[in-house]
Structure 1
Amino acid sequence: MKKLFSNAFSGKRLIMSIVSMILLVGVVSAAAYELTKTSVTLVINGEEMTLKTHAKTVDELMLENDILVGEHDFIEPSLDSRLTNDLNVAWIPAKLVYLTNNGEKLPVWTTSHTIQELITELNLEVGEHDKIQPSFETALVEDMQITYESAFAVTLYSDGEEKEVWTTSTTVADFLEAEDIILGELDRVEPSQGEIVKANTNINIVRVQKVTDVVEEGINFATVTRNDNSLTRGTEREVQSGQKGKVAKHYEVILENGKEVSRELVKTETIQESKDRIVAVGTKQIVQPVSRGGTPGDWVTFSSTAYTAYCNGCSGVTSTGLNLRTNPDKNVVAVDPNVIPLGSIIEIRYNGRILGQYRAADTGGAIQGRKIDIFMPERSDALRWGRKNVQVRIVK
């Protein structure tokens, strides 16, 4: 029994020794396994982590850590690089964003972190007037929509000024809104608001105003004649002086950029009525047409002077209503109607030379008896004439 117990105890010690040996071999093996691992630093989007691995290449390291490297991702060193102790492996997964460049939408794979980095990565030059949204500082995220519009120069004519404006607007309406240009109710823009804006387009703002202009104008009076049998036939007498009237004409005026382009009469308002000039015309028959001037056909000596339509106190209108200012070519004389009837045609002779035929169409306070006053258009001619004795005869 004692021997049996001794044999059993010896067997247990052998088993324990074997187990201990196995454990020792395992520990030694494990230690040896760990000692044979490579120590590397994996940097993912800037975050570092230290790893020990038996992987031989970067590709094996990534697969060992369940990381699938896409074709657009950033990996350094390359996937086929062999691992060495203290190696840094950097991985930045690419993001898919969408860039609309001047209206053309493009998918872009990028490892940039911000829009500013993406612009640099794409070698896209953004000028100070160009527009990009979102802003440069915005962090990129998957499926982000980015819009870039390059600016171009147009010429703006507005409120009397011409200037160059850089814009990214696509239509004239967009341009007006971007430049805070407000059109009045009547204002317009050329080209129209729906037109496309391109480089070197001329945009003209036309400021339109509608105003009322009131213009006062005179109205000429009419001359009314009335028969008067108390006056000798061929004579006239002013019964009532004429007076001009006055009207106010209201015009609707359209101004474009301060210049008048149209004018329309919308209302006429009478301010003062005109007053007719009334002239009495003699109808009394003359038995002796010439009382002291001889019979028709006889030459009679008269004293003559000369006058113009613009002498002091002259109206330019004869007593018979002839306007000498508008008819300066008329041969007219002023006579004494009791000697030469008004309306008669006379001939005047001076120093044996016939000066011409004249109509007796005017009278004068100083023209009495055998006196005549000859109308001359030019004042200088009238002054040179002075006073002369002439021969006169009635033609008809």
Structure 2
Amino acid sequence: MKNEYPKTKEKKNWIYNLLTITVFVLVIGFLFQEGMKKTVALTLNGEEQLIRTNATTVEGLLAELEVDTHSKDYLQPAADTAIYHDMKVQWRPAAQVAFTSGSEQHIIMTNAQTVGDFLRKEKINVSEQDELSHDLKTKISENMTISLDKAFAFTLVDGKEKLEEWSTSITVADFLKQQNISLDKDDRVEPALETKLSQGAVVQIVRVEKVTDVVEEDKSFAVETRKDESLVSGTEEIVQEGKKGVIEKTYEVVLENGKEKSRKLQSEKVIKESVNEVVAVGTKVLVAEVSRGTQAAAAVNTTASDEPAEKPAQETAQPAVQQTAATTTAASAPEEKKEEPAGRELYVSSTAYTASCNGCSGITATGINLKANPDLKVIAVDPSVIPLGSKVYVEGYGYAVAGDTGGAIKGNKIDVFLPNKEDAYRWGNRQVKIKILP
């Protein structure tokens, strides 16, 4: 029987040597591989760690670490940068942000760390007047919503002041509150406070002020009329001058933007009473019945035609009549020698008439009964030249009253009353001076 032991022992040695070589190769390979690895300081989402890697690029490093990346992730240096020993790599995943402006909303992946960075990276301009939902320093977070309300221009008219303002789409009331613009209880705002502002809108504040105004006004006087039998009918005379009184009136005045809009009388009181004017109205005669007619101015002619048989006797007896008239009738007295009174004077054509002339009733236009008062001095006038009731002085006739009218008495013409036909004949037709007394 052969001895197998040496072969067995030889076989075992061979296996042992093979295992030793294998282990050695593996150890050498491991040590070589470990020696070939590079140390990288990797910051993942804010946390830093040291990594030994055989990756040749940054992208390979992240793939080696099974990090899911997005094109919007923050990666520094770039993905294709070669790995080197003691390299620093920063990676931060992008966050999904919902950005709303006006009626539009956009979903944006961003690696910005703050709201300010986000707006800058997305090239979104924000003015001082715009309204942003977050502070610019606010950290970006996943599924964050950022809102931007853009401001627009509109016109604010505050009282008399016109301003160009900027605002977002808020109500009028909110804008006034933001700007610290106060309103008094009577002020008006157009449009209404709950109205939302819009581009180009005009907001008008009407400043309403109520003030008290005290004024003094004249109080008119009344006119009293009293009948006076001593004055000829148709004439008036002021007995007492009227004087105005004073009334104090208190008004509530409404001012809008400094201008008076309305005023309302609140109260009034008499400071000084007025004094009535008293006027005396003449009632010496009754209202006239009939004027002496259009033929009065021709009293001499009509009388002569009515009594033709007597005319020669009258003419032959004229001197005696003149003597009698001088002693018994005031109408034929030589008044020219007396001192004339002051007054407005004019020259007129004059004729004479009697109470019983043809067409005469004996009652004047102002109601004087000439038949009952034959000694009265009365003249007929044109009222547009000499007012009825005027006191006058007639050259050659004396003091008289303008108390009658006549159809033929027009313009600068008068008719003097004489008690009888003889005196009327004697007067004839003459130019005389007449004064209208004050």
Give the TM bin, normalised by the shorter chain. 0.5 to 0.7
**Deviation for aligned residue 1:270:** 3.2
- CA distance in 1: counterparts of 2:41 and 2:61, whole angstroms: 11
Deviations 1:221-265 (A, max 9, x none): 112223344x24436555544332332333332211101122233
Maintained 8 Å contact 1:41/1:89: yes
- CA distance in 2: counterparts of 1:362 and 1:132, whole angstroms: 100
- Which amino acid in structure 2 is aligned with residue 175 of structure 1? F
Other structure's SS at 2:90 match: strand
**Partner residue in 1 for 2:30:** 30
Other structure's SS at 2:388 match: strand
Which of residues 347, 356, 375 in structure 1 aligns to 2:385? 356
Maintained 8 Å contact 1:303/1:370: no
* TM-score with structure 2 setting the length: 0.57
- Which amino acid in structure 2 is aligned with residue 209 of structure 1? E
- The change in CA–CA distance for 1:82 and 1:153 in structure 2 (over 3 A counts) is closer
**Deviation for aligned residue 1:184:** 1.2
Verify: 1:189 aligned to 2:218, yes or no.
no
Deviations 1:35-54 (A, max 9, x none): 34454443334654331235
**Partner residue in 1 for 2:305:** none
- CA distance in 2: counterparts of 1:293 and 1:14, whole angstroms: 198
**Partner residue in 2 for 1:318:** none
Maintained 8 Å contact 2:55/2:83: no
Deviates more, 1:253-262 or 1:55-64: 55-64
Maintained 8 Å contact 1:221/1:277: yes
Deviations 1:138-175 (A, max 9, x none): 22223334332333333333243333333335332232
**Partner residue in 2 for 1:346:** 381
**Partner residue in 1 for 2:146:** 146
Deviations 1:173-211 (A, max 9, x none): 232122211111111233333333334433332211122
- CA distance in 2: counterparts of 1:134 and 1:34, whole angstroms: 50
- CA distance in 1: counterparts of 2:330 and 2:263, whole angstroms: 61
**Partner residue in 1 for 2:173:** 173
Question: Equivalences for 1:45-194 in 2 at 5 Å?
Answer: 45=45, 48-54=48-54, 61-70=61-70, 72-75=72-75, 81=80, 84-86=83-85, 89-102=89-102, 104-194=104-194
Maintained 8 Å contact 2:391/2:400: no
Other structure's SS at 2:253 match: strand
**Partner residue in 2 for 1:381:** none
Maintained 8 Å contact 1:214/1:248: yes
Maintained 8 Å contact 2:251/2:263: yes
Greater helix fraction, Structure 1 or Structure 2: 2
Residues matched between the structures, number: 319
**Partner residue in 2 for 1:305:** 343
- CA distance in 1: counterparts of 2:193 and 2:97, whole angstroms: 34
**Deviation for aligned residue 1:123:** 0.8
**Deviation for aligned residue 1:112:** 0.4
**Partner residue in 1 for 2:395:** none
* TM-score with structure 1 setting the length: 0.63
Maintained 8 Å contact 1:209/1:254: yes
Maintained 8 Å contact 2:244/2:275: yes
- CA distance in 1: counterparts of 2:376 and 2:180, whole angstroms: 87
- The change in CA–CA distance for 1:224 and 1:36 in structure 2 (over 3 A counts) is same
- The change in CA–CA distance for 1:340 and 1:241 in structure 2 (over 3 A counts) is farther
Other structure's SS at 1:30 match: helix
- The change in CA–CA distance for 1:284 and 1:71 in structure 2 (over 3 A counts) is same
- CA distance in 2: counterparts of 1:340 and 1:93, whole angstroms: 134
Other structure's SS at 1:68 match: coil
Maintained 8 Å contact 2:116/2:136: yes
**Deviation for aligned residue 1:275:** 3.2
Deviates more, 1:19-28 or 1:41-50: 19-28
**Deviation for aligned residue 1:14:** 11
- CA distance in 2: counterparts of 1:123 and 1:165, whole angstroms: 26
Other structure's SS at 1:164 match: strand
Query: Which runs of 5 or more residues in structure 1 are unaligned?
Result: 1-11, 287-291, 296-300, 308-337, 349-354, 364-368, 373-388
Root mean square deviation, CA, Å: 4.7
**Deviation for aligned residue 1:18:** 8.7
- Which amino acid in structure 2 is aligned with residue 346 of structure 1? V
Maintained 8 Å contact 1:98/1:145: yes
- Which amino acid in structure 2 is aligned with residue 278 of structure 1? V
- The structure with the largest alpha-carbon Rg is 2
Other structure's SS at 1:278 match: strand
Verify: 1:214 aligned to 2:208, yes or no.
no
